Amino acid sequence: MRVGVMLVVASTGCRQIVGFDEETPASHDAGIDAEARVFWSTTGRWQFTDPGCRDCVDRSCADAATACAADPSCRAYEACVAACPPGNKGCASECLPRVPSAVLSPETRPLVHCVAAACSVACPSSVVTNAEGNTCGPVFANLDCASCCCKEFAACDNESDCVRQSACARQCMTNGPLDQPCFEACTGRQPDPLTPTANIGACAQGPCQTSCSGRPDWSCLGHVWQPQPSLGPRKLYGAVVLNTFASNPMPLGPGFHVKLCSYIGAVIAQATAGLDPCAMSRDDQVSDDGGKVVLDLSRGSGFSTYFEVTAPPGLDYQKSLFFLAEWTLTHSLHKEFYLDLRNTVLSLPTAGPGRGVVVFRTFDCRQALNLAAGVEVEAEVNSSPAGDRPVYTALGVVPDRGATSTSGEGVGIITNLPAGQVTLYAHRHDTGQLIGRTQIMVQPDAVTVVELVPTP
């Protein structure tokens, strides 16, 4: 993603929101240890590991806390923080990777930013200071990256528009320019131009690339939390484009049919021969002249959804099924649907009669969908291995026959998979540790594209 650094929140140390209820302040004052004192504000019940933060947070961050309390993704992150043992200031920094959707919530960053920026004296553990003594504000990247790009982080932290827009920009930008309608739906403002300071990626991918990249992050494995849908508008701003994984994909134009489908419905339909797995779609759109569609994610059935893309008559593209990372569907997002024209040098390998092909991409714990190397993938049907041995690719869809795990492109292909339910298992090549288990649907003479991310 051009906008983004790899996002992790550092310890906010001084504050943990543990609930919002109707009890009176007096009922909490007696018998509470000074090191874990409960303080009451107009927004609810706050517990602090550092009593010195109390008045600062109550005075400065009431609005941000109220917004967080109204958003499930932000509440999930706060629940993770609240579960941290008292005095363990490193625990909070581990929470965000456990709740993958939290970084996409427009409410999460303003709250942590508020505590760190407005209360930096009372809450010193919530900020980072580089070697020159400059304070960068709250940490939304690894420490080395934040320190290297301190000026850029500080500029964003000190601008309210940047703080508000940064999460939305991550949802609405992939490998291309910012999707403006998606961005405005996420921020709730129309029109809403992007402030220049929101793109810290210019630093992270430039002079600080070494500090801001590094090896895959697997810190969330074993304790990933299932996210909940964010409140407010949830739309997918899609673009149907040519050439799988190309750096500059070409829009394919009008007439492409994109459906929001139910996975459970597809399983039931495919169990009965001849039924269309997506006969009753949750949303159904046809691309415009620019290849674009807008689908309403709120019509989806929770996390059991996928997208079916078919070409208009006369164009020879295989039907393609897209299983996106589930937690990205909890917010509005921009997504490109890649299709491959048959019988060209970029065509995917063919499958046998009645079978299909799966193209997968592997990602680590970082919430900006960071492609991960060193991942092994196995397909199973009814607990038995299925399909041909995975072929991992080095550039685009060119297979590397000698590879035993994904390269930095994180891409692989499995051919000759039987139609029906298939389960993909992703493991670390170096340790064998399970990364995730993802259920997909394979259809005859079709391509299934799936994003493999860490799962609970």
Mean pLDDT for back-to-back runs of 10 residues, the chain (456 residues): 31 40 34 34 40 65 81 82 63 75 81 76 73 72 78 84 85 79 87 86 84 81 84 88 70 95 76 72 94 91 82 92 91 90 74 87 86 94 85 74 88 90 95 95 91 94
Q: Calculate the alpha carbon distances from 160 to 51, 146, 195, 196 in Å.
A: 27, 19, 10, 12
pLDDT for 238 equals 94
Cα(452)–Cα(426) distance, integer angstroms = 7
Gap between the terminal Cα atoms of the chain: 24
pLDDT for 91 equals 67
Cα(167)–Cα(160) distance, integer angstroms = 12
Alpha helical stretches, state H, 83-126? 95-98, 108-118
The three-state secondary structure class of 100 is coil
How many Cβ atoms are within 10 Å of 45's Cβ, its own excluded? 17
What is the distance, to the nearest Å, from the Cα of residue 277 to the centroid of all Cα atoms in its chain? 27
pLDDT for 430 equals 94
**Packing angle, helices 150-157 and 108-118, rounded to 10:** 100
pLDDT for 190 equals 86
Contact 435, 452 (CB under 8 A): yes
Cα(337)–Cα(449) distance, integer angstroms = 9
Nearest 5°: phi and psi at 301?
Answer: -95, 70
Candidates 205, 196, 228; CA nearest to 79 is 228
Query: Rounded to the nearest 5 degrees, what angle is found at the Cα of 250, between the Cα atoms of 244 and 253?
Result: 110
pLDDT for 307 equals 96
Residue with tokens 């569609």: 293
DSSP 358-423: EEEEEB-S-TTT-B-SSEEEEEEETTEE-SSPPEEEEETTEEETT-SS--TT-EEEEEEEESEEEE
Contact 6, 141 (CB under 8 A): yes
Cα(439)–Cα(2) distance, integer angstroms = 30
Asked if the peptide bond before residue 51 counts as cis, ω within 30 degrees of 0, the response is no
pLDDT for 186 equals 86
pLDDT for 94 equals 73
State the CATH class of domain 235-452.
Answer: mainly beta
The three-state secondary structure class of 76 is helix
Residue with tokens 């997208």: 307
Domain boundaries, the chain: 16-24+32-212, 235-452
Contact 203, 254 (CB under 8 A): no
pLDDT for 331 equals 86
**Packing angle, helices 180-187 and 160-171, rounded to 10:** 120
Q: pTM of the entire structure?
A: 0.84
For residue 195, is it left (φ>0), alpha (ψ between -120 and 50) or beta? beta
